[in-house]
Amino acid sequence: VTGASFVVFNGALKTSSGFLAKSSIVEDGLMVQITQETMESLRQALRDKKDFRITCGKVDAEDVKEYVDICWVENEEKTNKG
């Protein structure tokens, strides 16, 4: 689990790169590089206020992958106030 001050979603990742998505820590935030198709799905999930999971890693990798989960919560008091 990584806490971040901000998140950047970059929809310029090419499908030919061999990655499903890539995540990296940038200063005190998180940058997630995703394909245009995933960006469209993310936008729709945000409009619909639905949870969304982005799987990061190589397309053909069989080992453990990283996930970026966007979750809607009902009670904001249980989240990090910082």
pLDDT greater than 70 at residue 1 = no
Burial grade of 16 (CB within 10 A; 0-12, 13-18, 19 or more): exposed
Residue 79 lies in a domain: no
pLDDT tens digits, one per residue of 23-79: 998 888 999 999 999 999 999 999 999 999 999 999 887 776 789 999 988 876 655
Residue 82 lies in a domain: no
Residue 29 lies in a domain: yes
Residue 1 lies in a domain: no
Residue 77 lies in a domain: no
Domain that holds residue 64: 6-70
What lies within 8 Å, CB to CB, of 35 at 6+ separation is 11, 13, 14, 15, 21
Q: pTM above the 0.85 mark?
A: no
pLDDT at 45: 97
Residue 40 lies in a domain: yes
Identify the CATH number of the domain in which residue 23 sits.
Answer: 3.30.1360.220
